[in-house]
Amino acid sequence: MTTCNKLGTVPRMLQGRVCLVTGATRGIGAATTEALARMGATVIATGRSAERGQDLISGITRRTGNTGVHFLCADLASMTEVHSLARAFMDRWDCLHVLVDNAGTVFPTRHVTVDGYEEVFAVNHLAPFLLTSLLLPVLRSSTPSRVIVTSSYEHRRASMHWDNLQGERFYFSQQAYAQSKLANLLFVYELARRLEGSGVTANAVNPGLVHTNICMDSGWLIRTVKRMMDRFSAVSPEEGADTGIWLASSPDVEGVSGRYFQRRSAVRSSRASYDVAAQQRLWHISEELTGLSERFGA
Ligand SMILES: NC(=O)c1ccc[n+]([C@@H]2O[C@H](COP(=O)([O-])OP(=O)(O)OC[C@H]3O[C@@H](n4cnc5c(N)ncnc54)[C@H](OP(=O)(O)O)[C@@H]3O)[C@@H](O)[C@H]2O)c1
């Protein structure tokens, strides 16, 4: 068990801080993990491939000299594995100052997880909902602490299809993805309200259009469009990760919660994302689907 000091303020450098980053094996998550390690944090990177995890850690350790970078393996499409991940983390670390819910995916056709959930909804929304909820006790005891969820500009194209939440009736890849990114915002705003005054903040980030692997499992049309956009307007994973890293580390955002950021500025998200009834409805559905209501008797 690693014991950490409680720090009153977020230092410029993250020495003594413990950060957990999901989806750390590629793209924005890998860049975030490396930047936090460079600032001296203990970083727990998570991903579903132990081999990619080991490569990531050895590369970051070599480049940054930080030996406090670790890897925990979990497929976030499985709620059982999300539970195991939270347990594995809490078995080894007794504090968590920054949780970055970053892992994300998109599929051209409807995939169903081992739990019977549509996979984009499960990985992009249910997994961060469950992981954050399970880690809340340690976030609360490590205050000031921060939750950062990677959303997307795409949320603006979405509304919540309550009667087709998991593409049961029809499935369009872009709609499933955009809805999951709107769900990220509904979750963050409700979480921030529930955590008011606790010392744990919750914010969402839009990394912009970033040259990464996302969409590369999609159909040829989406792949082609993404490749063209990448070529002409996407930024590097390091640039895309910048606002999330800033949210994780900067004293400028100490105590700031329930906001949506892009390019280091708080901006308004879509009108649908501020619908409090929708935030609460999604929260209750997510509790039911992840079994949290049973566990906590909520
Ligand atoms: N790229 C963009 O233009 C853009 C724009 C807006 C928002 N975003 C958001 O940014 C976040 C990161 O995406 P990215 O662009 O960096 O994409 P990426 O390069 O494809 O990275 C996605 C990460 O998520 C992990 N992941 C996917 N499914 C998983 C699962 N079932 N269990 C565990 N980990 C899983 C991947 O692990 P593997 O290595 O195992 O595949 C990878 O580490 C996502 O939430 C995405 O929605 C991206």
Distance (angstroms) between ligand 1 centre and the Cα of 104 equals 4
Res. 35 pLDDT band, cuts 50 70 90 = very high
Residues within 6 Å of ligand 1 by CB: 23-29, 47-49, 52, 75-77, 102-105, 123, 150, 152, 207, 209-210, 212-214
pLDDT at 213: 83
| Domain boundary assignment for the chain | 18-210+237-293
Average pLDDT over residues 275-285: 98
Res. 208 pLDDT band, cuts 50 70 90 = very high
Q: Is the pLDDT of residue 122 over 90?
A: yes
Average pLDDT over residues 48-60: 98
pLDDT at 285: 98
Complete DSSP assignment for the chain: -B-----SS--SS-TT-EEEESSTTSHHHHHHHHHHHHTT-EEEEEES-HHHHHHHHHHHHHHH----EEEEE--TT-HHHHHHHHHHHHHHBS--SEEEE------SS--B-TTS-BHHHIIIIIHHHHHHHHHHHHHHTT-SEEEEEE--GGGGG----GGGTTSSS---HHHHHHHHHHHHHHHHHHHHHHTTTTTEEEEEE---SB-SSTTTTS-HHHHHHHHHHHHHHPBPHHHHHHHHHHHHH-GGGTT--S-EEETTEEE---GGGG-HHHHHHHHHHHHHHHTHHHHHT-
Nearest protein CA to atom 46 of ligand 1, as residue: 104
Q: Does domain 18-210+237-293 have CATH number 3.30.70.100?
A: no
